[in-house]
Structure 1
């Protein structure tokens, strides 16, 4: 449809349109932009006939050209990525092949070394077997020679032993006759000494029995005395109160040879009295003991009944 517009407005519109086309499509080298012509005429004051511009068609063309340029750029980027990917894959393949060749070379070197070691070990083993065989032959020869010498020595020793036995038998016979006479003499003397020894032993036994009885009486007295001393020492260290009246406790005391208390324990009795008795023994620390070993042996493990005294 023809539209009559002002000449100045038409010129301005045409100039702006040309600028827009240059700005939008000037940098696109992939396609030739479509030129839009605008005809401006002026004859005096008559109205100017202008070509109408379809804005929708223009926008569609602009979008189409932009899409073509984007597609071309995307295709180029994809081509570059594909080239880079193939280059990377080729580099990986090269590295893997290089590593494989190195492994093959290393395995071959190792196999060669192991084969060389095996050959050397086999040679050493063969040499050692030959040396051991030579030593075994020498040892067998030495054994045979030694066995022959041993047999000779045994024969000589056997003859010497037979001679020695004959001489010994003769000497033993003479010695036996002499010993029989000596034995008879010694038997008579032994009988006499035995009679004397028996009489002396009987006398000594009677004297020892008398001394033992006297010592037993003395030891019994000492045991009673030191038992009383131990009980007194415990009573002196016993702290009592009215709750203990009429009660008692039986305790066991173990003493060292110097009277030091090595252990004290409860046998039976009232707990309050027993606790006080244990404390009393520990407070005393050392209790009286006899210097006589027999008396000490009877009192080193003593059971004592403790009854509080008021």
Structure 2
């Protein structure tokens, strides 16, 4: 492709020059039907025409020489390219021949190595088989010796076992007797312990009942005392009227641990008396309460029934 491109440029130049010469000659020629008479040219004019034609011829010869030189160079370049191609082909053929030779040598080496490996494996296999045969013979001998010893050991163990079983049977009988006696003593002791524990539990329960009853009486007494104090406190602060005589009011009161009234709600009763009772509690804000937890638990929520008394 490069050679063709190099040849095209000179040929194009030559063709352009030829076309230019032809155009110049054509412009100097008259193609009219009736040729005009040629005037007699003077000597200087004829000489000028001859000189111009000589320059054109020289120019044409130069162009031809340039074309021949370009063709010669192109042929030389093409010959050199062909020579390099032939040399490269020969070099490639030499390399391929060398590669082929090396490949043949490599394959031969592989065959020789494989044969050597096969021979070594065969020798190793034979040696292994001989070792295995010797090992099997030794194993058979050891197995027979083991079986003989095992038979002798089994006979000895059987005798020892029989003696041990007889001794164990005697020991077991003695142990059963000992355990039976120990169990009888344990049951007797357990029975005595349980009876003693039951007696202690009964005594503790009786004592607990007595203490509980005493405690309940004390708590009930304190609750009654504080309830009376609460009702008396409320009564002192109720604004009584004669119309309240013989009437009552039931009020729900909830108390905090310090006696502060958290709930003051009318449940039932005479409206006027209930209103006066509720107002008195609101003015008081706090009522008497015990610091004893058991007493407070029964006082923290009371349904108070207030009946005014008149002297």
TM-score by length of 2: 0.44
Greater helix fraction, Structure 1 or Structure 2: 2
- Tell me which structure has the larger Cα radius of gyration: 2
